Amino acid sequence: MPSSDDLGRRRSAVVARGVSSMIPSYVSSAAGGTLTDVDGREWVDFAAGIAVTNVGNSAPKVVAAIKQQVELFTHTCFMITPYEQYVAVCEELAALTPGDFEKRSALFNSGAEAVENAVKIARHATGRQAIVVFDHAYHGRTNLTMALTAKVMPYKQGFGPFAPEIYRVPMSYPFRDGGRSGAEAAAYAIGQIEKHVGASNVAAVLIEPVQGEGGFVVPAAGFLPALAAWSKQAGAVFIADEIQTGFCRTGSWFASEDEGVEPDLITTAKGIAGGLPLAAVTGRAEIMDAVHPGGLGGTYGGNPIACAAALASIETMRELDLAGAARHIESVARPRLEALAAKHPIVGEIRGRGAMLALELVVPGGIEPDAASTAAVAKAAHESGLLLLTCGTYGNVIRLLPPLVISDDELDRGLTLLEQAFSTL
Ligand SMILES: *Cc1c(COP(=O)(O)O)cnc(C)c1O
């Protein structure tokens, strides 16, 4: 087997520089909470491929479902000759997403594509154009979703012009907004929308219930419900982007449930199919069905193998109670992180929910971001065999996103490596 060094040399001759990797080790296999590289080195996985392998890599049921499907047929295109697996995934989405109303779903390949389609649907259903998004938001890298995403470097730098009719308003971010309550932060954001956009022009309010790439920002309680209520009153579509938070990550099937919010539309992707590319828009039948036949689709959207993997992933989440597993991960990790914060005043805040936890690093005593120490901790973690991601508008947030099937032993080892990484500062 070629070594990571060999592969790195081959890579630099043929792979575009714009597609970068966090670490230079090449994977040979992965399962549970552990990845193994081609050099035989093992890694504790606190990344889950960015919140994708919630059921673990090569989860047994997912592998079996893929094998079975791949021998039956690999692709027909649902827009030409449909198949049951697509319908069954939409049935699961209707049952699992919050809200006891008639729902419809449409399937796509990536999160960005789902977000793009949610915007298309909201505009079509309302006959309006304006889309309201938030500070620190991340919604993808396609042209429309770049415009919806907040952070310029690396996501938007040099890639304009961007799509019009997108308006950004302040997010509830208790650590950085002076501790505004959810109601206060919502009133402020709503005031901005009403003054700068006009309620009657808003097609959709699009928000991550807990922000992902933007820094695992958890809005103050009441912020999401207030925005959902305002959207309803304004005749705007309330869209929850649950691409990172969905499928048990925060300790519920969907993070919207944690605050009793029933979004009009929900976008999902990442955790839905155990690693296969699948995404969805799910929501109120009258909004989804506003679009004419043929208005939505794509060659590969709802590929049968990806659908089979999704059905097996969902079954695994149910059987193993992975929402409960996410809560268990929090109950183990949070006290360890709090002890870490007590020891290292550089940790300004610990936040997150379920198996979506973060530490924000600052100059002690204030809120000035410390991106350099964040990078140093991540580097020390990587050198010691812990796969750890950073995030945040200021690059100063360390995030924990383990597979939900991680064992207590792996979790303990990962947390110990994280503690050791902090000791190197
Ligand atoms: C990852 C992500 C996306 C984009 O998904 P891709 O599959 O990478 O296109 C959109 N929204 C959120 C919240 C995400 O975390």
CATH value at residue 231: 3.40.640.10
Which CATH number is 376's domain given? 3.90.1150.10
Tell me how far apart the alpha carbons of residues 292 and 365 are, in angstroms, rounded to a whole number: 56
Q: Is the pLDDT at 1 greater than 90, yes or no?
A: no
In short, whether 243's Cβ falls inside 6 Å of ligand 1 is: yes
In short, whether 211's Cβ falls inside 6 Å of ligand 1 is: no
Q: Are residues 276 and 208 in the same domain?
A: yes
Q: DSSP secondary-structure letter at 219? A: P
Q: Are residues 53 and 69 in the same domain?
A: no
Q: Are residues 222 and 338 in the same domain?
A: no
Q: Are residues 193 and 337 in the same domain?
A: no
Interval between CA 344 and ligand 1 midpoint (Å): 32
Q: Is the pLDDT at 236 greater than 90, yes or no?
A: yes
In short, whether 110's Cβ falls inside 6 Å of ligand 1 is: yes
Q: Are residues 304 and 221 in the same domain?
A: yes
In short, whether 241's Cβ falls inside 6 Å of ligand 1 is: yes
Each residue's pLDDT tens digit, 54-110: 999 999 999 999 999 999 999 999 999 999 999 999 999 999 999 999 999 999 999
Each residue's pLDDT tens digit, 280-326: 999 999 999 999 999 999 999 999 999 999 999 999 999 999 999 99
In short, whether 148's Cβ falls inside 6 Å of ligand 1 is: no
Closest C-alpha among 118, 128, 135 to residue 172: 135
The number of the ligand 1 atom at minimal distance from the alpha carbon of 112 is 9
Q: Are residues 308 and 330 in the same domain?
A: no
Q: DSSP secondary-structure letter at 258? A: G
Cβ contact 239:122 at 8 Å:
yes
pTM reported for the whole predicted model: 0.98
The pick from 244, 247, 266, 281 for probing ligand 1's pocket by mutation, whose C-beta has the most ligand atoms within 8 angstroms, reads: 244
Tell me how far apart the alpha carbons of residues 126 and 291 are, in angstroms, rounded to a whole number: 11
Q: Write down the mean pLDDT value for the chain.
A: 98
In short, whether 139's Cβ falls inside 6 Å of ligand 1 is: yes
Domain range for residue 29? 4-58+321-422
Boundary-marking domain end, from 290, 320, 350: 320
Interval between CA 139 and ligand 1 midpoint (Å): 5
Q: Are residues 180 and 293 in the same domain?
A: yes
In short, whether 275's Cβ falls inside 6 Å of ligand 1 is: no
Tell me how far apart the alpha carbons of residues 326 and 319 are, in angstroms, rounded to a whole number: 14
Which tokens hold the place of 223? 């912020």
Q: Are residues 210 and 163 in the same domain?
A: yes
In short, whether 249's Cβ falls inside 6 Å of ligand 1 is: no
Q: DSSP secondary-structure letter at 200? A: G
Q: Are residues 339 and 298 in the same domain?
A: no
Interval between CA 2 and ligand 1 midpoint (Å): 32
pLDDT at 14: 98
Q: Are residues 237 and 342 in the same domain?
A: no
Q: Are residues 73 and 18 in the same domain?
A: no
Total structural domains within the chain = 2
Interval between CA 201 and ligand 1 midpoint (Å): 26
In short, whether 208's Cβ falls inside 6 Å of ligand 1 is: yes
Each residue's pLDDT tens digit, 135-146: 999 999 999 999
Boundary-marking domain end, from 293, 320, 347: 320
Q: Are residues 39 and 168 in the same domain?
A: no
Interval between CA 370 and ligand 1 midpoint (Å): 25
Write down the residue that tokens 């500070």 correspond to. 135
The number of the ligand 1 atom at minimal distance from the alpha carbon of 141 is 9
pLDDT at 304: 98
Which tokens hold the place of 116? 């793009």
Angle of helix 223-234 relative to helix 182-196, nearest 10 degrees, comes to: 30
Q: What per-residue string of b and e applies to 264-278 under the rule 16 or more CB within 10 Å gives b?
A: bbbbbbbbbbbbbbb
Each residue's pLDDT tens digit, 349-368: 999 999 999 999 999 999 99
In short, whether 69's Cβ falls inside 6 Å of ligand 1 is: no
Boundary-marking domain end, from 286, 320, 354: 320
